[in-house]
Structure 1
């Protein structure tokens, strides 16, 4: 899943051979400039454009067009090249637009040679600029990354090349303009605008995993998502994200104001930002349910999605700003100390101090913008959390005191909370769409976070069992009576204390299956059900199913895998994980992957097909949008609370009342 970048954010590149695709609202010139270690453009020979001789490692378009493909081989570039800038310029021919403000925002996509998406960036906020550095590929500590730049120049190519340190920049720009003029005559008419803003199958607006976007472990992202990784069905896309803040002039300050904190339903551009003296001291009071949607449930769901997006975006902007400040300080110090004669003495110390002060100023401004956005998000969370229905609420919410068995299933269910280290106190509910499209794996082994080596393995295993019971209890509570049947496999009989709320309340139709024979019997019954339902759906004969087939949704909880499983049972479990969701059979495993090592790579597809969650906080979840490592916090029942037992008791009572 490609990372959607915001201005200033960077992303690692997976290989040396890349393709950069550009789409604009009209004919533009796509060119490339090369920079040395200090970011300077040494001579006109380091500019690849439609009228220049071919450069090693680069292949650019040979005419003005609305769509471009630029091929880059980083290993074939000259050794002295440390930066590759992708720039866009407008033709000055008759009938051509003279500024990017008159065109749709250009979209840049970085892909692998096979077309695999790596990163995307929409260059917004342009006005009178006629040239812009869209993205740059840069090398740091032997590794290449891509950074979203979006720096526009009202002075055109001359100002752009001059800013990159090219000697006699205006003469070089004139030579490039000649090539542009020659190529403009061959430029095709601009194609009609694509519906929905799509560029070769990609969306111009970032589409990522909300709290309900099926996230997964970072190592599984390429196979699972986006997930986030991705895998839980992504939430319905909200309204388009508002445009990024206007790009600063070449000599002006960088504007780190976060653009996302505007009403999500507004279609008009945001109003001009008033001076500090005219701004209100406090932002508008947030309101629960201000997301788009027809029902309050849908509005709250989309509002939570918006909060997740806001937190991801503002954190990405802050991290990108800090990285930009570090890069700028390094560049300024390299330029100031380039002459060996000036590396010592008070002049060198003053240059270092000035560079450090400018970095601190940029970071402070970015931090202030981050704190402002986090404060508003915190205020919104404090309003939204108490208004959430049972399916979205924490176990300690008062909404459970008035719980009643619902008449219909909700659109999503809460499977925990997500947080980022910049503000550990702000947590966004992780909402997963129903019905589940992926099974769940509750990892009873060692988590991957820095704190996990100190965790007690016995306590982690106990908490894993309690988490499975809490998740199963919530799923039972949010479904109508009798519409979800829970089966439990406990081959060793060790999960009894953790299963007590389920067994003692009567919410289970059958007691937990124990021993290899009990495991085989339950797996055989569910496998038969999946086969029959899929066959009936293919032949459109669902009314011909045998009367003993339970048409309610099925949830299978597996404790202590692989104990009590032989090869045949493992094969059936993999079949249920792959084919079960389409037939209404869902899997939840409580397992330590290390204990199943004897099966080797045979079980790797099983682990990858499941959404991994942990019984202790862990930073293993990654979103597919900007790639943050989110800290996951499990939805455990508070110690000493009887809320789960009370809720399951009402579920069992409703099932008996309706004979289900």
Structure 2
């Protein structure tokens, strides 16, 4: 049975030798790119186009035409290829100037015998002149097809640049020149199709409008890995990573690097573990660490982001299908009511019933597909969660009971979990890269469940400080001894009881600063530190740093803001938020957004520069792909658990040098 896809929806591929058939209302240029696990194309050799129509496992047409047949052999693709993106573009010479002026292109993935596996109609295109129609991608050792429909008004050059090609404009010109040259078609004709297997293009639900589902303007984006998509980039050779970043600063104990921590490896990474065999027709059994990566931590990190992306797109496809079903029902009902013949004899009632039945059928089909995807993701989460290292794990994970202070910084840190209402059974760990690229704002105001749970503002404030302590303790726990320092400003002393775990275990740089004088002293000390490091970096004179300069990462927790702050202190906070992360100084604000609004425009840039988190579940985080409003659950310590105290005790012992 053929799967008629909507934008964002995926479907498993049961064959490895395929044809991708394109039918358009006008001649189009067809091509394909091969990419790594991040979707990045390695270079011009990774693009099959009319000028270079074939590569291992892939062959495309040499000319522009209204119909194309692209040949794909997934088994013949190199092991480094994880995605095959099918591209369509309008020729430069003559013809329509945009896809919105022609009939919607239709793409079908078929076997070599012509049997259709999946199809997709690219609806909703307007000013675009190039589009990624579908992509074939590898997931847990199996291949799937996904309906993409991502258009580009800037044409092939913009499309190829978005896939990471540095020579995108030159290659786009070469492709158009090859098309203009009228090169002969080289793709061998497929086996003939019988009449009963042929079919005409059929309309399907339009893809989601990426602007229609955007959350409220105040929503924060889900933290994303650098340069998109999430997965980490393993080094190309064994040895230290050479990720670009600020220059290093030497200290008495050796060079200090504010970039991602270096890792030494004696040999290339072993291949990901193979999935256990599954029964024919069943999805592959999930395996923890089956994504690509240099180390198991990197594989797990990449796998988590793959799960996040799969859930986002599956839910987007479901919502799009439901919207389509509702609009179709309304249209059919309106047409029935506008026909005078249906007003006699109960015809209008029958039309309504028929429209509702079709609506229910479409929604049920969409829900069935979503449930299938959610079931698979839930099974994957069940095997991934127990395998996560401490930095990625919940506080109730047994890995914390065997905690030892690490010798190197992990790739990322877990700040909580993400959920979508259509998939309550799936929880995606929310991971952010280390070192942090932006500070945090822990909102102690009325938000989400606060309105119904906490009548006393002091309870809300106390819970917010406890959440901040849990985040800070986790940061202290994942850094090697002496490489992470925490400062606290608690001007009114309102958070003393919640901050007690940090103070009692002596893991703070100094006792919490109190009053306006203590606040000013702490802020001045850290802003001077930022100034010194910036001057050293810009002047190329790291030797000018004072002797004994603390080169560790710094975190400043500010509680009960804006109590004890004047305009000068607020400006210092803004300076630390803007300039601090690049030189290892980070902010964690615990404050009520509404109370802080008294500063008006002076405070807005500070609030917007930080990642807003809440101590209770709240749907305020937005992803950049489809604009979902994800519900964020904080990473809190289970009630009655001693795990945080045990971890801080070991951190303190390691800092003193008397054991781990």
d(CA) in 2 for partners of 1:396, 1:287: 21
Partner of 1:410: 410
Partner of 1:316: 316
- Change over 3 Å in CA distance of 1:344–1:487 after alignment to 2: farther
SS in 2 for 1:619: strand
- Structure 1: stretches of 5+ with no match in the other structure: 1-5, 11-24, 31-62, 68-93, 110-120, 139-147, 152-188, 203-215, 240-264, 267-277
Is 1:390–1:400's contact at 8 Å kept on the other side of the alignment?
Answer: yes
Is 1:289–1:300's contact at 8 Å kept on the other side of the alignment?
Answer: yes
SS in 2 for 1:612: strand
Does 2:93 correspond to 1:105?
no
User: Could you tell me which of 117, 123, 134 is aligned with 2:122?
Assistant: 134
d(CA) in 1 for partners of 2:314, 2:509: 47
Partner of 2:628: 628
Is 2:105–2:121's contact at 8 Å kept on the other side of the alignment?
Answer: no
Partner of 2:454: 455
Once the two structures are TM-superposed, the CA of residue 400 in structure 1 deviates from its matched residue by 0.7
Partner of 1:249: none
Partner of 1:248: none
Partner of 1:378: 378
Once the two structures are TM-superposed, the CA of residue 107 in structure 1 deviates from its matched residue by 6.1
Q: How does 1:106-255 map to 2 (within 5 A)?
A: 106=87, 125=108, 134-136=122-124, 194=160, 197=163, 218-220=216-218, 227-228=221-222, 234=228, 236-237=230-231
d(CA) in 2 for partners of 1:405, 1:477: 6
Does 2:518 correspond to 1:514?
no
Normalising by structure 2, we get a TM-score of 0.64
- Change over 3 Å in CA distance of 1:641–1:133 after alignment to 2: closer
d(CA) in 2 for partners of 1:461, 1:233: 36
Is 1:492–1:515's contact at 8 Å kept on the other side of the alignment?
Answer: yes
Partner of 2:657: 657
d(CA) in 2 for partners of 1:526, 1:402: 35
Once the two structures are TM-superposed, the CA of residue 105 in structure 1 deviates from its matched residue by 3.1
Is 1:329–1:359's contact at 8 Å kept on the other side of the alignment?
Answer: yes
SS in 2 for 1:391: helix
Q: How does 1:385-400 map to 2 (within 5 A)?
A: 385-400=385-400
d(CA) in 1 for partners of 2:6, 2:308: 19
Once the two structures are TM-superposed, the CA of residue 458 in structure 1 deviates from its matched residue by 2.7
Once the two structures are TM-superposed, the CA of residue 439 in structure 1 deviates from its matched residue by 0.4
SS in 2 for 1:442: strand
d(CA) in 2 for partners of 1:26, 1:199: 25
Is 2:25–2:105's contact at 8 Å kept on the other side of the alignment?
Answer: no
Is 2:29–2:65's contact at 8 Å kept on the other side of the alignment?
Answer: no
- Change over 3 Å in CA distance of 1:344–1:413 after alignment to 2: farther
Q: How does 1:179-578 map to 2 (within 5 A)?
A: 194=160, 197=163, 218-220=216-218, 227-228=221-222, 234=228, 236-237=230-231, 280=280, 282-447=282-447, 449=448, 452-456=451-455, 457-578=457-578
Is 2:225–2:433's contact at 8 Å kept on the other side of the alignment?
Answer: no
Once the two structures are TM-superposed, the CA of residue 29 in structure 1 deviates from its matched residue by 6.8
Partner of 2:612: 612
Q: Residue by residue, what CA displacement relative to the aligned partner does 1:152-173 show, whole Å, maximum 9, x if unpaired?
A: xxxxxxxxxxxxxxxxxxxxxx
- Change over 3 Å in CA distance of 1:101–1:191 after alignment to 2: farther
d(CA) in 2 for partners of 1:545, 1:191: 47
Once the two structures are TM-superposed, the CA of residue 548 in structure 1 deviates from its matched residue by 4.3
Q: How does 1:78-93 map to 2 (within 5 A)?
A: none
Partner of 1:587: 587
- Structure 2: stretches of 5+ with no match in the other structure: 10-20, 32-61, 72-84, 91-103, 135-154, 170-213, 234-270, 273-277
SS in 2 for 1:219: coil
d(CA) in 2 for partners of 1:501, 1:359: 56
- Change over 3 Å in CA distance of 1:658–1:572 after alignment to 2: farther
Is 2:307–2:428's contact at 8 Å kept on the other side of the alignment?
Answer: yes
Partner of 1:60: none
Once the two structures are TM-superposed, the CA of residue 27 in structure 1 deviates from its matched residue by 13
- Change over 3 Å in CA distance of 1:327–1:101 after alignment to 2: farther
d(CA) in 1 for partners of 2:158, 2:585: 46
Normalising by structure 1, we get a TM-score of 0.64
SS in 1 for 2:425: strand
Once the two structures are TM-superposed, the CA of residue 425 in structure 1 deviates from its matched residue by 3.1
Once the two structures are TM-superposed, the CA of residue 191 in structure 1 deviates from its matched residue by 8.7
- Change over 3 Å in CA distance of 1:233–1:639 after alignment to 2: farther
Q: Residue by residue, what CA displacement relative to the aligned partner does 1:66-89 show, whole Å, maximum 9, x if unpaired?
A: 89xxxxxxxxxxxxxxxxxxxxxx
d(CA) in 1 for partners of 2:227, 2:587: 16
Once the two structures are TM-superposed, the CA of residue 599 in structure 1 deviates from its matched residue by 1.2
Q: Residue by residue, what CA displacement relative to the aligned partner does 1:334-367 show, whole Å, maximum 9, x if unpaired?
A: 3334322323433222222222111111111111
Is 2:28–2:88's contact at 8 Å kept on the other side of the alignment?
Answer: no
Q: Residue by residue, what CA displacement relative to the aligned partner does 1:576-616 show, whole Å, maximum 9, x if unpaired?
A: 00000011000000001221222111111001000000001
Q: How does 1:639-658 map to 2 (within 5 A)?
A: 639-657=639-657
d(CA) in 1 for partners of 2:314, 2:483: 41
Is 1:329–1:355's contact at 8 Å kept on the other side of the alignment?
Answer: yes
